[in-house]
Amino acid sequence: MKSPAVALGDSNKLTVGQHIYTIGNPVGMDRTLSDGLISALRKDDNQNLWYIQISAPISPGSSGGGLFDEDGKLIGITSAGILKGQNLNLAIPANLLSELPARSAAALDKFKNKTTQDSMAGGANFKPEAKVQSAARTPIPPASGFADISDAAKLDQFGARKGYEEFLGKALPRAFAIADGGGWFHTYGRTPKDTADPHVRVVTECETFHKRHCTLYAVDDIVVYQEKKITDSNNPVYLKRTPVPAPSSYADISDVKKLDAFGARKGYEEFLNKAFPRAFAIGPQGHWFWASGFDAKNPDSAEPHVRVLIQCERKSKQACALYAVDGNVVFQNPKGINTYTFTVPAPAPTSYADISDISKLDKFGARKFYEEFLQQNFPRAFAVTDAGGGYFTSGMNPKDPLASNEPHVRILQACESYYKRSCYLYAVNGVVVYTGKENKDPGRK
C-alpha cells in the first residue's frame, strides 16, 4: 500500500466533548468509518492519560483501528469496548505509541547485554521453547508442583472449580486465589485505578470480598500454591459442632464416575460447584441430596453435613449415607446402599465392564446414549442392539402397555420395537449385567 503515513496528534491536548472519527474492520466489513465524541479521559494515579473513552460505535474486529481528530491526525488506537453498556469504547492514546520505538530499543539492548553476560559466565539462559510470561513488575512465586495449570479438578477440594474455569479463560496477566473454608477470587489485567500486578492485588481483594484469609493459587500459567492442611483450628468459617467422619479412601473428591453406581453423578456434579460448607448424601434407591451453607434458621440443622442426611432420608424414605463433606469423600461403601428392590429380579452383575466405562459402548455405537443413561435416576436400564444402537428407560410407569412398569423388564420390548431387531440388556441401575451374549428379558416366559 503506497498511501502516506498519517500525522500524529498530541493526545495530551485532547478535551472531553471533542469530535472524533474511527476507522476499523467491524465483523469483517473493512474501512468502516464512524464518528462520536470523547466521553472521558481516563488517567492513572500519576495523572498520565491511560485511555481515551469514546462514544463512537465500534464492534469486534475494530480493535487496532485508528482514532482521528477533526484535522485527520491520529490521536489513538481503538482497543476495547464494554459490552454491558452502550457506546462505552476505549482507545490507547497516540502519545503512548510514540514511545514504543524507544521502549523497544531499550528492551532489546537490555536483552542483548543480558545474554552476552550470561554467555560469558558459561552459557546463555535464553530458551526459545520456554513459555512467555506476562511482563510482571513484581516477582512471581515459583511453580509449586501442586498441580498443572489446566487441572481444574484440583479445585474441587476448595469448592472453587467453577471460578477456576472462569480464570483459565482470562488473558494474561492474571491471578487466582482461594479462601480458607471455601471460596475463590480472580483478577486479570491492569486498570488505570490499580496498576498493580494481578498477583499482588488478588489476595487483598479476595480477603476483602470473603472477609477471611486467602491464599494465592495460580499466576498467569503456573500454579504457585503450597499445599497446607486445613483443620477446624485454622478454618474460621465453619467450626463443625457435630463431628464429621474422617476422609475415606473410597474415591477422590473429583471422581464423579464413582457416583454412576448410585445414579447420582448429575447431583454430585451440582454439589461440586457449591461453596463450603457443603455435604452430599446418597440413598439405596438412587436418591441423592446435597446441602450447602450454614443456615442457623433451618429446622433440620444449621450444619449441612447433618441436615443433608435428614433431607435425603425424608425424600427417599430409607436410610441414606453421607458421601462427601466440603473437600473430602467420607463414604465407606456400606452394604446395601446401592441396591434396589425390584418386583421382577434383575440379572446378576457381571465382570464385563465397570458401570462408568463408557468406552465399552463404542463397539455397539451406543456411547452417546449410554452417557445420557448415566445421567438418569434409578430405576433405570440400558440395552444394546446386535447391529449397533442403544436404548434406555428410567422410572416406573404403571400406565406402560408393555409387560411391566419396571424399566429393566420393559426395555427389551421397547428397544426391539424401535430398532426392529434383537436387543440385549446391558445395565440395570448401577451395575453392568451384560455377559457378551443375549440377556433374555426377565419378564418373558
Rounded Cα–Cα distance for residues 300 and 8 (Å) = 70
- Smallest CA-to-CA distance from 184 within 151, 221, 155, 143 is with 155
Distances (CA, A) of 100 to 31, 180, 234, 298: 25, 43, 49, 61
Rounded Cα–Cα distance for residues 416 and 398 (Å) = 20
Q: Cell digits for 42? A: 481516563
Tens digit of each residue's pLDDT, the chain (445 residues): 567 778 888 888 899 999 999 988 776 677 788 889 998 888 766 677 878 889 888 776 666 788 999 998 999 888 766 655 567 788 888 887 766 666 566 656 655 554 444 333 333 333 333 333 444 557 888 899 999 999 988 888 888 888 898 899 888 889 999 988 778 899 988 766 666 788 888 998 898 888 888 999 999 989 999 876 544 444 434 445 688 888 999 999 999 888 888 888 888 988 988 878 899 999 877 788 999 888 888 888 888 999 999 988 888 787 889 999 988 999 987 665 655 667 788 898 999 999 889 999 998 999 999 999 988 878 889 999 978 899 999 876 655 554 467 888 889 989 999 999 999 999 998 889 998 765 554 544 4
| Domains of the chain in sequence order | 11-98 (2.40.10.10), 135-237 (no CATH), 256-329 (no CATH), 358-432 (no CATH)
- Smallest CA-to-CA distance from 373 within 324, 423, 344, 408 is with 408
- Please give the model's pTM, rounded to 2 decimal places: 0.50
